[in-house]
Copies of this chain bind each other. A is one copy, B any other.
């Protein structure tokens, strides 16, 4: 794959707070238009997971949750709200690590992540509500991509990103939990390098690198810039979903 030579990332300005049922493609197109930006074929739009989840109504009222005995026990160790832990466990396959203030799980979609991505911050109504990951983020991205094609006649890629902790690194980094129209992984194995040796192991987490780049503009403390327009990415590989970025448990570096 030829690398891009110039890349531009632009925060879509002035987006309103998103509520369940909102038409995200419509909102983005409207704000782009107001800002004098015209969507082009080949553009990529990166969406913060939170606004996808909100638009899809993935909000749980904790007052309606009765924690199981297991959730109560895990909550005691993790020092978290047992109702929140119940919601986290329902979204999870297994607990990877549980300690004070730490609850790392394998999400039902395969992500190894803190709190199964369940989030109490930035949700209207405050602490009594929690926001879950989208039901199927790759599908959400595909639906949005199709909406941009139908409404603007443009062939864009769509990516949904979230901030993940890492095993051996401090700090979070943007990660692609869903994408459509771009290659999540780029496999360079077998391509010659500069001196015509074969590259040994070079599969690039392309969508994760895009997600990290978009994350630089999204910020963390508010919803101010939840959609980033990315212009200049080459797209000469077949598209694959973000699910391809999940390392199968059998290849987990710790098993």
- Enumerate chain A interface residues (CB-CB to B < 8 A): 1-11, 13, 17, 96-97, 101, 104, 111-112, 114, 120-124, 126-127, 163, 165-175, 184-186, 188, 191-195, 197, 199-206, 208-210, 212-213, 215-225, 232-233, 244-247, 252-254
Q: Is the CB of A245 within 8 A of B205?
A: no
A244-B170 contact given A7-B216, A216-B4, CB 8 Å threshold: yes
- Say which residue of B124, B171, B186, B193 sits within 8 Å of A206 (CB atoms): B171
User: Cβ of A124: which chain B residues have Cβ within 8 Å of it?
Assistant: 195
User: Cβ of A127: which chain B residues have Cβ within 8 Å of it?
Assistant: 197
Q: Is the CB of B5 within 8 A of A205?
A: no
Interface of A is mostly: loop
Query: Chain B's nearest CB lies how many Å from the CB of A35?
Result: 10
**Number of identical monomers bound together in the oligomeric complex:** 2
- Say which residue of B204, B222, B253 sits within 8 Å of A171 (CB atoms): B204
- Say which residue of B209, B218, B220, B222 sits within 8 Å of A215 (CB atoms): B209
User: Cβ of A202: which chain B residues have Cβ within 8 Å of it?
Assistant: 163, 172, 220-221
- What are some 5 contacts across the A-B interface (CB < 8 A)? A9-B232, A169-B208, A173-B173, A193-B221, A193-B222
Q: Is the CB of A170 within 8 A of B253?
A: no
A219-B171 contact given A194-B122, A195-B123, A199-B121, CB 8 Å threshold: no
- Say which residue of B184, B203, B212, B224 sits within 8 Å of A209 (CB atoms): B212
- Say which residue of B169, B208, B222 sits within 8 Å of A205 (CB atoms): B169
